[in-house]
Amino acid sequence: MLGGVALVGQIDRGDVHIVIVEDDPRIAAFLSKGLRAEGYVTTVLHDGQQAMREVVRLGDDVDLVLLDLGLPKIDGHELLQTWRQRKFEKPVILLTARDDIREKVRGLDGGANDYVTKPFHFSELLARIRAALRSKDQAASTLLEVEDLRLDLVTKIAYRADRRVELAPREWALLELFMRHPRQVLSRTQILSHVWDYSFDPGSNVVDVYVGYLRKKINRPGLKPMLQTVRGAGYRLIQP
Ligand code: CA
């Protein structure tokens, strides 16, 4: 996620954001530290009430939730049920304290994708996270659409208002980044790190140059101009 949650170090898996809902501070810290070391971005939430509010607010900025079942104020089952009713469809992996089959069945029936029983091996948790993220990608993300812009991630063809747009590889990567964060302001540094892997000096104007190329290609006469400059901050694809 960009904005709101600190990006820690260089993230080489893109920016996969995992929300950890866990009231035990030691387990939460262990999970967060371990996942960050694997290149994930993490947010830790300690109680049910906070998690109810934050996960719905973050919405599409969350890629996966690790959810402890035994939580103060609102328990994990109730959280999951409410999120699913509110159309939060990202993968949720339950962390269960007991090896209780009824708890697991109830969780899976309530919309969880998977579970691990504490204490667990970190390598197993990582494998389950990768599996849950893979199945989500296969189901949902062969096509990116923002208003009349469309990127077909399989055929690598871009369209604006149903007309094909020819993009060079960097332009494609830049447009894909904007379309994955359609209403967010992306700073030049964020764009550089995603599209150019820090191989350019942050003082270089390569981002501005490429945003210029991209604008010429996607903003045909008669169409709503996209890719706004936000003075002193960066660029965003569309108005929030
Ligand atoms: Ca707990």
Task: Count how many residues are written for the chain.
Answer: 240
CA of 97 to the centre of ligand 1 (A): 7
Stretch among 3-17, 79-93, 101-115, 221-235 having the lowest mean pLDDT: 3-17
CA of 30 to the centre of ligand 1 (A): 14
DSSP designation for 12 = B
Identify the CA nearest to 217 among candidates 130, 157, 159, 162: 159
Give the tens place of pLDDT for each residue, 65-92: 999 999 988 999 999 999 988 888 899 9
What the chain holds in terms of domains, given with CATH numbers, is 17-133 (3.40.50.2300), 143-237 (1.10.10.10)
pLDDT at residue 240 in the model: 77
For the entire predicted model, the pTM comes to 0.55
Listed in sequence order, the DSSP H helices in the chain are 25-37, 48-58, 76-85, 101-109, 122-140, 169-180, 188-195, 206-218
pLDDT at residue 179 in the model: 92
Q: Above pLDDT 90, what percent of the chain? A: 57
CA of 51 to the centre of ligand 1 (A): 13
Please indicate whether residue 62 or residue 203 has the higher confidence score (pLDDT). Answer: 62
Q: Give how far Cα 1 sits from Cα of 119, 171, 184, Å.
A: 29, 21, 10
Separation of alpha carbons 133 and 79, rounded Å = 20
CA of 115 to the centre of ligand 1 (A): 14
Tokens of 33: 């530290």
CA of 75 to the centre of ligand 1 (A): 9
Identify the CA nearest to 110 among candidates 134, 128, 94: 94
Amino acid identity, position 235: Y
Is the pLDDT at 123 greater than 60? The verdict is yes
Max Cα-Cα span within the chain: 62
Q: Above pLDDT 70, what percent of the chain? A: 90
Give the tens place of pLDDT for each residue, 136-174: 655 555 788 899 999 987 778 899 998 999 999 899 999
pLDDT at residue 200 in the model: 67
CA of 178 to the centre of ligand 1 (A): 37
Ramachandran sector of residue 156 (left: φ over 0; alpha: ψ -120 to 50; beta: rest): left
Q: Give how far Cα 165 sits from Cα of 104, 110, 172, Å.
A: 48, 43, 10
Confidence of residue 120 (pLDDT cuts 50, 70, 90): confident
CA of 161 to the centre of ligand 1 (A): 49
CA of 119 to the centre of ligand 1 (A): 12
Report, as an integer, the average pLDDT of 48-68. 92
Q: What is the mean pLDDT of the chain?
A: 86
DSSP designation for 227 = -
